C-alpha cells in the first residue's frame, strides 16, 4: 500500500466511524422522543448542510425496536470525536429528561 492509498484508507475509516457516531446520536434522540435535527441545530445553528444526519436518520429504528443507548455511551462517542458543542447540548437534554 502506497502513501496515497494509506491516507485514503484513514479518511474512509474516519468517515465511517463519524457516520456511526451520528447514527448513535440520532438513535439516542429517537429513543428519548427528541428530534435529532432540533437537538443538532441547538449545537450548530449556523450549519447549513446536515445531510450526514439526514442520511443516518434513515437508518434509525422506532424506539420500541431499538436497544438502549446509555447516556454515558453517547457522551463518550461525542467526546471521542471532539463534538463538544453537541455534547453540551445533549447534556442539557439529559438533565431535562431527568427532571421529567
> What's the average model confidence in pLDDT over 75-79?
96
Of the pLDDT bands very low, low, confident and very high (cuts 50, 70, 90), residue 98 is confident
Whole-structure pTM value: 0.90
Task: Select from 37, 13, 42 the least CA-distant residue to 25.
Answer: 37
pLDDT of 77 reads: 96
pLDDT of 76 reads: 96
CA 91/CA 17 separation, integer angstroms: 22
pLDDT of 20 reads: 95
Is the pLDDT at 94 greater than 90? The verdict is yes
Residue ranges per domain, the chain?
A: 3-99
CA 75/CA 68 separation, integer angstroms: 14
pLDDT of 1 reads: 82
> What's the average model confidence in pLDDT over 4-11?
91
Amino acid at each position: 500500500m502506497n502513501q496515497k492509498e494509506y491516507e485514503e484508507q484513514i479518511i474512509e475509516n474516519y468517515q465511517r466511524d463519524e457516520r456511526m457516531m451520528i447514527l448513535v446520536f440520532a438513535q439516542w434522540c429517537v429513543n428519548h422522543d427528541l428530534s435529532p435535527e432540533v437537538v443538532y441545530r441547538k449545537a450548530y445553528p449556523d450549519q447549513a448542510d446536515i445531510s450526514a444526519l439526514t442520511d443516518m436518520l434513515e437508518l434509525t429504528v422506532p424506539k420500541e425496536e431499538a436497544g438502549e443507548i446509555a447516556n454515558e455511551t453517547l457522551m463518550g462517542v461525542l467526546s471521542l470525536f471532539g463534538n463538544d458543542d453537541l455534547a453540551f447540548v445533549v447534556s442539557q437534554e439529559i438533565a431535562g429528561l431527568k427532571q421529567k
